[in-house]
Amino acid sequence: MDLTSALQRLANYRARNSRASRQIFETGVVVFRNDALHKLGDDSWEFLESLALAAVDVGRIDVAEACLKHLSTKFPESPRVQCLEGILKEATDGAETALSFYQKLLEAEPSNAAVWKRQISVLRKLSRIEHAVEELSKFVDTFYTDVEAWLELADLYASHHHRYTLALQSLSHVLLLAPQNPFYVLQAAETAYTAEDIPLAIRFFLMTIEMTGNGDEEPPVPTGITVRAWYGIELSAARLEADPKLATSSPSETRPLEYMGQLRQLAQDVLKAAQADQQGAESQASSTWLRR
């Protein structure tokens, strides 16, 4: 790969905010070995950071160390560079050593968000879940608008402790911070379903459908996460039919809908339409392939 092509590819990766480690490494090394950092201008520092992370991912510690040397010389006190140094320690010296490194940095600067998040990541890697939850709870109190941190806290509660009510509380903050993201609403719906708060789950599933569905089609033929939301409606209605007490025992005190029978029938009709549409698309694709 020539230098011009490598520079163009790197620009494309940055524009897409891609973490394609193998491709970034193979492309970035061409620039790095040709001493062409000056051609990137101010983007050279972001490039070095991306190349270092990609090098760690593919096991080329020598390249990561070379990138870190450049960055440390230019930005000796940068929290991002310190965080990168910690990531390198995770790969070379192990999680315990990296954890000690992060803790020392946080003693000197408690509000270093990047290092704090890496510390939490290492705690989770070491299966110190209670400590990770404690630190993450402090983190979101300090950096309330960090959506990724709230999602991580929700995942910790759900996947390691099965504390689905607490996971839902974390997701409620996510929905306040990013109300237009249907994937987060769907996650809240599925968490509520698992927590047996079926009325709340149905509300969130319907909200997901409203945010993603095509209301102009008759009958509606959903795609993507809209299908998943309709499937959640069907499952929720089935659970209420099997155990009517769930309708009046919502932990969130969400009132049940009065037309669940009709809603379940609609969900079944929509899912059948989606299945038929998918089968038709697969049949058409197969026919196209056979004609080649």
Amino acid making up residue 68: L
- Residue 160, classified by CB atoms within 10 Å of its CB into exposed (0-12), middle (13-18) or buried (19+), is middle
Q: Is residue 95 part of a domain?
A: no
Count CB neighbours of 110 within 10 A.
11
50, 14 Cβ separation under 8 angstroms = yes
The rounded mean pLDDT for the chain is 86
Cβ atoms of residues 247 and 198 within 8 Å: yes
At residue 103, the pLDDT reads 95
Q: How confident is the model at residue 30 (pLDDT cuts 50, 70, 90)?
A: confident
The residues near 201 (Cβ < 8 Å, ≥ 6 apart) are 189, 190, 192, 193, 232, 236
**Residue 48 within a domain:** yes
Q: Of 76, 103, 134, at which residue does a domain stop? A: 76
Contact 67, 77 (CB under 8 A): no
Whole-prediction pTM value? 0.82
**pLDDT band for position 258 (50/70/90)?**
confident
pLDDT for the residue 25: 84
* Residue 15 burial by Cβ neighbours in a 10 Å radius (0-12, 13-18, 19+): exposed
For 200-211, how does the pLDDT look when each residue is reduced to its tens digit (9 = 90+)?
Answer: 999 999 999 999
Is 80 exceeded by the pLDDT of residue 6? no
Is 259 a domain residue? yes
Give me Rg for the CA atoms of the chain. 25
pLDDT of residue 183: 96
pLDDT tens for each residue of 44-94: 788 888 888 889 989 899 999 998 998 999 888 888 899 999 999 999 999
In a domain, 289, yes or no: yes
Inside any domain, residue 138: no
Question: Tell me, what amino acid is at 207?
Answer: M
Q: Which residue among 56, 76, 96 closes a domain?
A: 76
Q: Which of 18-22, 47-51, 159-163 has the lowest mean pLDDT?
A: 18-22
Q: Residues 153, 140: contact at Cβ < 8 Å?
A: yes
User: Is 146 part of a structural domain of the chain?
Assistant: no
Tell me, what's the pLDDT at 31? 75
- Rounded Cα–Cα distance for residues 178 and 154 (Å): 15
Percent helix, percent strand, percent coil in the chain, to nearest 5: 75, 0, 25
Least confident among 43-47, 229-233, 250-254: 43-47
Domain count, the chain: 2
* pLDDT above 70: residue 290: no
> Given 28, 56, 76, which residue is the final one in a domain?
76
pLDDT digits 0-9 by tens, 99-135: 999 999 999 999 899 999 999 999 999 999 999 999 9
Report DSSP letters for 173-222, one per residue.
HHHHH-TT-HHHHHHHHHHHHHTT-HHHHHHHHHHHHHHHS-TTSSS---
Domain ranges, residue 4: 1-76
Q: Which tops the pLDDT comparison, 258 or 144?
A: 144
Chain centre distance of CA 224: 17
Q: With respect to residue 133, please indicate whether it lies within any of the assigned structural domains.
A: no
Residue 175 pLDDT > 90: yes
- Predicted confidence (pLDDT) per residue in 182-198, tens digit: 999 999 999 999 999 99
- Asked whether residue 244 is assigned to any structural domain, the reply reads yes
